[in-house]
Structure 1
């Protein structure tokens, strides 16, 4: 193998140093953070609402939100030039920008991009500090979502209440009342709230369960009847999220128990995060 010339050695050394510097700079860029102290800087200069992507600009650099851009027939409100370009740099800044959750009491930082500050992300819709109306249709009480369970218990929207642990069967007493409120027992923050209802029909009883929290997690549940004969009946379904509990017969999945075939039984429910228990 021929020895490298002095020029080749210098070139190889320079290339190696450049690669090392580029790698170091890339790592440093990842560590860079910034703070935007005035959110008015992200307002559209035409309508003064929060900027959303896409953002348009004219040749002079004047910008407008997509809504104003359409209303102005793509003409700049400042200089009347055609706004034919996107401001990609500012769009990128909005993609990386995070802002405090607008709900008082919440310390979460949420993404700014693709929405207005009032609706910064799905976090705001499901935040425990978002004000929520009571889902029971006969009640107009409003409070933080995290306080709704205590309100429902105090208001006696159901005859009884209890805590449940995901994956663990729970006995539901059927004597007295038409339903029970269950709250998930968890150490990781606010747990989900589930309502189990039953409706007496002329020829049997109908059972139904729903989740009344604003979260995004999916749940499944199993209803199980232990009969006096020692046999069991069970039904599995996805736990639906609802905005309102009307104390009327539901339109979703239910379990019907004929009174003629099951005159005496014990009732259990098992709630699980994720897909159906049998899958």
Structure 2
């Protein structure tokens, strides 16, 4: 409607201009001079009145059109919600998010040839000297170009951690998922109990040990290299250790140390095992540990007994059950050096866990 008004106004304006312009001689042939002037003045006045009365309407209509165009976008239609459109989106061809050379997930900085084949920075550095694209063979006059659009795309693709069910709320970029999984503090471990199928994070596992099995658990965090004393009972005993190098005992740096004490014909046999959620990974981030155990017993008039051992400790996520005790180092305390009543009340051991790698 506004567009028709604009057309009509323009026609009236042109008509008024023509009448008042260079066609005076033609008007003199059909009208008197005074009538011609009156006619022109009336028409101009009519145009002015029309402009004054309709000017606001035209302006409002034009403004309305601008608002509609702004909301509609450059394509002439209202844009759908992008957030709703990408909800639950699936990448059909994951290869499009990989470097065309090494096939590793693309991560910034990303480069492309003139045709648009993208590659990671490491492959760009290796192949730039060739002067041609490794994929299409197009000559690279100015070298590979930085592909900022692809960088923004891969940065925006976020994925849920596979351990979300165990409490992890992180959503790393898709190319950082492997690195996150290798250090996720919510990665689960399996309970070492026979016929117990509990699986949970380090913190949840400690709670499960105490609540479901009533196993002794020392929840005070022991730092690497720190000496501590523990009263071991027959069966499983658990200690929470911090394996961070900076002393930051966060959830991602907590390690469960299991000391299993059993009674054998020779005495009390103690084996040590680290329970770590990433022990089974190909490039394991689980720490390498050295354990030092000391036992001292005063035997009265018969003297005293002192023994000490240092040995390496394996780590496991308990997926395959407990390791064979014969394959582990065993710290044996002879029964004859344990004071009367010591078996029922436990054996006091001085220990130190040192992270060596």
Q: In angstroms, what is the RMSD of aligned CA positions?
A: 4.6
Contact residue 230 and residue 351 of structure 2 kept, 8 A? no
Give structure 1 stretches of 5+ with no counterpart: 1-36, 66-80
**Structure 1 residues 1-43: Cα deviation after superposition (integer angstroms, max 9, x where no partner):** xxxxxxxxxxxxxxxxxxxxxxxxxxxxxxxxxxxx98x99x6
Are the equivalent residues in 2 in contact too, given 1:162–1:182 (CA < 8 A)?
yes
Give the one of 233, 237, 256 matched to 2:307: 233
Tell me the alpha carbon deviations over residues 237-269 of structure 1, each in whole angstroms, 9 at most, x when there is no partner: 223211225386251222123335x34374314
Say whether the 8 Å CA contact 1:221–1:269 is kept in structure 2.
Answer: no
Question: 1:125 pairs with 170, 182, 185, which one?
Answer: 182
Q: Determine if contact 2:160/2:172 at 8 Å carries over to the other structure.
A: no
Distance (whole Å) between structure 2 residues aligned to residue 188 and residue 237 of structure 1: 24
Instruction: State how many pairs are aligned.
Output: 214
Q: Does 1:134 align with 2:191?
A: yes
Work out whether residues 219 and 271 of structure 1, in 8 Å CA contact, stay in contact via their aligned partners in 2.
no
Alignment deviations for residues 96-128 of structure 1 (CA, whole Å, 9 cap, x no partner): 969767334546675755xxx6x431x313312
Task: Give the deviation of 1:55 after TM superposition.
Answer: 4.7
Please tell me whether the aligned partners of residues 258 and 272 of structure 2 are also in contact (alpha carbons under 8 angstroms).
yes
Kept in 2, the 8 Å contact 1:221–1:236? The answer is yes
Q: Relative to structure 1, is the Cα distance of residues 100 and 274 closer, same or farther in structure 2, using a 3 angstrom cutoff?
A: farther
Structure ranking higher in helix proportion: 2
Change (3 A) 1:131 1:212: closer
1:243 — aligned with what?
Answer: 317
Tell me what 2:352 maps to: 271
Q: Residue 193 of structure 1 corresponds to which residue in structure 2? A: 256
1:29 paired residue number: none
**2:168 is the alignment partner of 1:168:** no
**Match in the other structure for 1:6:** none
Q: Which runs of 5+ in 2 are unaligned?
A: 1-82, 105-111, 121-133, 139-143, 278-284
1:259 aligns with 2:335: yes
What is the CA distance between 1:182 and its match in structure 2? 1.7
Say which SS state the counterpart of residue 155 (structure 1) adopts. helix
Q: 1:101 to 1:150 in 2, by over 3 A?
A: farther
Structure 1, residues 197-243: CA drift from partner, whole Å, max 9, x if none?
A: 02222222321111102263333221111122334211112232112
Q: What secondary structure does 2:182 align onto?
A: helix
| Higher strand proportion | 1
Q: Deviation digits for residues 34-66 of structure 1, max 9, x if unmatched?
A: xxx98x99x6x745575257259897435699x
Larger Rg: 2
Match of 1:220 in 2: 290
CA distance in 2, matches of 1:149, 1:142: 11
Q: Is the 8 A contact 1:100 1:108 kept in 2?
A: no
Runs of 4+ in 1 over 4 A off after TM superposition: 45-50, 55-59, 62-65, 81-85, 87-94, 96-101, 105-113
| Corresponding residue number in structure 2 for 1:72 | none
Q: Is the 8 A contact 2:160 2:171 kept in 1?
A: no
The separation in 1 between residues aligned to 2:117 and 2:298, in whole angstroms, is 78
**In structure 1, distance between residues paired with 2:266 and 2:295:** 17
